[in-house]
Amino acid sequence: MRGELTFNAKVNRNVMTFQEFIEVIKEEALGKYQSAEDISIAGRFMGQRGPFAQLQDAVGRVQLYIGKDELGETPENKERHKKLVKLLDIGDYIAVKGKLFATGTGEISIHVHELKFLSKSLRPLPIVKRDKDGNIYDSFTDPELRYRQRYVDLTVNPEVKEIFIKRSRIVTVMRRFFDAQGWLEVETPVLQPIHGGAAARPFATHHNTLDMKLYMRIANELYLKRLIVGGFDGVYEIGKMFRNEGMDRTHNPEFTSMEIYVAYKDYNWMMSMVEQLLETIAKEVNGTTKVQIGENSIDFAGPYERISMYDSIKKYTGIDVSQMDEVALRKVCKEMHIKVDDYMGKGKLIDEIFGEKVEDHLIQPTYITDYPIEMTPLAKKHRSEEGLVERFELFVNGKEIANAYSELNDPIDQRQRFEDQLKLAERGDDEAMALDEDFLRALEYGMPPTSGLGIGIDRLTMMLTNNPSIQEVLFFPQMKPEVA
């Protein structure tokens, strides 16, 4: 008996998946009461009511009919099966054989005549029940348990599994979209000697053999641009970034970003590309461009509104900050009761006003364009507006999900911008960007005009699945250690 209960290696599971089973119902079994041939199926035993049991696999559930005296053929085999059925626990993996039939209420089920244990569950799974109206009766909801034991969460909460399937599809659709354009998916270093490309505190580590300090990347931008210098027309990378910052419902120390750089393009082109990309993703993942996020119904169908940062501030505050110097901006912040620090330069002050007064209004997808030069050291100067750069951020539901530039490809200007960052750092801005000599050298060899874009995959998934918490879209969100 014991042998039957433990972790069988021989499985005939490839005979039929649940999905195939459902197709068989449609094509063959419907209208019949009993299939001619046995089918073989395997899955997780998820409960029993009388002779009716639920078997679950990755796709869904099917009903089994386990008749008391109908298992096995020989008397010994019948006896054995009776014992096996008694030993069934929720969570056990079993394989069954039987014929399809329609029950009295019309549900297509498997009339089991043979049952085999594949694996035993030694711990009781939480039992979640739901009725036809979707009411859930015995839920498994404790966030701490759900995140620490995601395997249980995924087993008993099908809507959780659905989120992660969507997340995977978002990435797949994105990849397919880029690949169709001939852009190249690449991988760049996670361990970097200089943490460039963004403004954030890094995780630091040490390489023993080289005896050198290394940082987990906070961004991969400077490496991807090196590849554009190297002659690729379009490169993109989907991968983890690491930032040693605070954690909350929208921040996890490691998160996934997609960065893409396309040569001979500018940020106007990029805006159109992003519209097509997001529209495609929304349709492929949700079947529609519209998505409900909390209270708001959002439509990802392009084109999106485009408004410059200065105009957006004017629109929502009535104040024109475009000609103001640092002193005037500080005065404005004070009048609006916006907290500012001494180290903040002009760009940062404008960003504070924007964050405080504008962001929350940007519900439908909206491009904010043309940022002050001080806060964007890697973007190209605006072709006609003094003091601005060609940059946009895409806001949806009041939150930023994409950031893009016409990339700065003038090495002399780039060196100057890095030096301005160093000055900010000296004033106490610990987010100011470090200078990367090799990156400058690459630019000195010549980089074509290029547009670059970054999209937060976690954030995008949160929006497309209507989840306000990043933990709900990460399989294993960062947690403090569990104490035994």
Partner RNA sequence: GAUUCCGUAGCUCAGCUGGUAGAGCAAUACACUUUUAAUGUAUGGGCCCUGGGUUCGAAUCCCAGCGGGAUCACCA
Backbone phi and psi for residue 96, each to the nearest 5 degrees, phi listed first: -130, 155
Q: Which is nearer to RNA, 70 or 385 (CB)?
A: 70
End-to-end CA distance of the chain: 34
Residues 401-460 that bind RNA (CB under 7 A): 403, 431, 456, 458-459
Of the candidate residues 32, 130, 176, 334, the single one contacting RNA (CB under 7 A): 130
At closest approach, how far in Å is the CB of 476 from RNA? 12
237 forms beta bridges with 259
Provide CB contacts within 8 A for 175, sequence distance 6+: 185, 238
Q: Minimum Å distance from CB 287 to RNA?
A: 26
DSSP string computed for 331-369: HHHHHTT----TT--HHHHHHHHHHHHTGGG--S-EEEE
Minimum Å gap between C-beta 220 and RNA is: 13
Q: Which is nearer to RNA, 68 or 290 (CB)?
A: 68
Measure the CA–CA gap between 199 and 375, rounded to whole angstroms. 10
By the rule CB under 7 A, 63 interacts with RNA: yes
Bridge partner residues of 64 (DSSP): 53, 110
Q: In what order do the strands lie in the sheet with 191-192?
A: 191-192, 212-216, 204-207
Q: Per CB under 7 A, which region of 137-145, 293-301, 328-336, 361-369 contacts RNA?
A: 137-145
What residues contact 271, with CB distance under 8 A and at least 6 apart? 304, 306, 367, 392, 404
Nearer to RNA, 251 or 361 (CB): 251
Question: Looking at 12-20, 102-110, 404-412, 439-447, which segment touches RNA (CB under 7 A)?
Answer: 102-110
Site for RNA in 340-399 (CB under 7 A): none
Angle at 176 between CA 172 and CA 182, to 5 degrees: 145
Could you say which residues in the range 258-317 bind RNA, by CB under 7 A? none
Applying CB under 7 A, which of residues 139, 205, 292, 416 lies at the interface with RNA?
139
| Nearer to RNA (CB atom), residue 280 or residue 467 | 467
Binding test (CB under 7 A) with RNA, winner from 73, 89, 185, 419: 89
The span from the CA of 222 to the CA of 215, in Å, is 14
Nearest 10 degrees: CA dihedral of 172, 173, 174, 175? 50
Stretch that binds RNA, among 273-281, 327-335, 419-427, 470-478 (CB under 7 A): 470-478
Q: How many residues bind RNA (CB under 7 A)?
A: 68
Chain mean position to CA 247: 17
Task: Report the interhelical angle of 346-357 vs 326-335 (nearest 10°).
Answer: 30
Closest by CA position to 296, among listed 368, 366, 362, 392: 362
Reduced to 3 states, what is the DSSP secondary structure of residue 15? Answer: helix
Please identify, using beta-carbon distances, which residue of 134 and 446 lies nearer to RNA.
134
Q: Which amino acid is at 31?
A: G
Q: Single out the segment in contact with RNA by CB under 7 A; choices: 14-22, 47-55, 269-277, 440-448.
A: 47-55
Run of H or E including 382: none
Identity of the residue, 58 or 145, whose beta carbon is nearer to RNA in the bound complex: 145
Q: Is 26 in the site for RNA (CB under 7 A)?
A: no
Select the span of 131-139, 185-193, 382-390, 407-415 touching RNA (CB under 7 A). Answer: 131-139
**Piece of the chain touching RNA by CB under 7 A; list 18-26, 66-74, 264-272, 406-414:** 66-74
Q: Is 119 in the site for RNA (CB under 7 A)?
A: no
Q: For RNA, which is the closer residue by CB, 263 or 417?
A: 417
Nearer to RNA, 243 or 382 (CB): 243
Binding segment toward RNA, per CB under 7 A, in 85-93, 163-171, 259-267, 298-306: 85-93
Nearest CB to RNA, comparing residues 255 and 310: 255
- The answer to whether residue 51 forms part of the interface with RNA (CB under 7 A) is yes
Evaluate whether 335 touches 274 at the Cβ level (below 8 Å): no
Residues 225-254, interacting with RNA (CB under 7 A): 243, 245-253
Smallest distance from the beta carbon of 14 to RNA, in angstroms? 27
| Closest of 114, 105, 113 to residue 33, by C-alpha | 105
* Nearer to RNA (CB atom), residue 263 or residue 435: 435
Kindly tell me which residue out of 60, 67, 189, 428 binds RNA, with binding defined by CB under 7 A. Answer: 67
What would the two tokens of residue 421 be? Answer: 């960052």
Closest CB 126 distance from RNA, rounded Å: 4
Please give the distance of CA 260 from its chain centroid, rounded to a whole number. 17
Q: Closest approach of Cβ 51 to RNA, in Å?
A: 3
Distance, CA of 149 to CA of 331 (rounded, Å):
51
Helix, strand, coil fractions of the chain, as percent rounded to 5: 35, 25, 40
Minimum gap (Å) between residue 68 Cβ and RNA: 4
- Concatenated DSSP letters of 122-176: -SPPPP--B-TT--BSS----HHHHHHTHHHHHHH-HHHHHHHHHHHHHHHHHHH
The smaller minimum CB distance to RNA, of residues 198 and 260, is found at 198
Q: Which residues make up the interface to RNA (CB under 7 A)?
A: 47, 49-52, 63, 66-68, 86, 89-90, 103-107, 109, 123-124, 126-127, 129-132, 135, 137-145, 147, 198-200, 243, 245-253, 255, 339, 400, 403, 431, 456, 458-459, 468-471, 477, 479-483
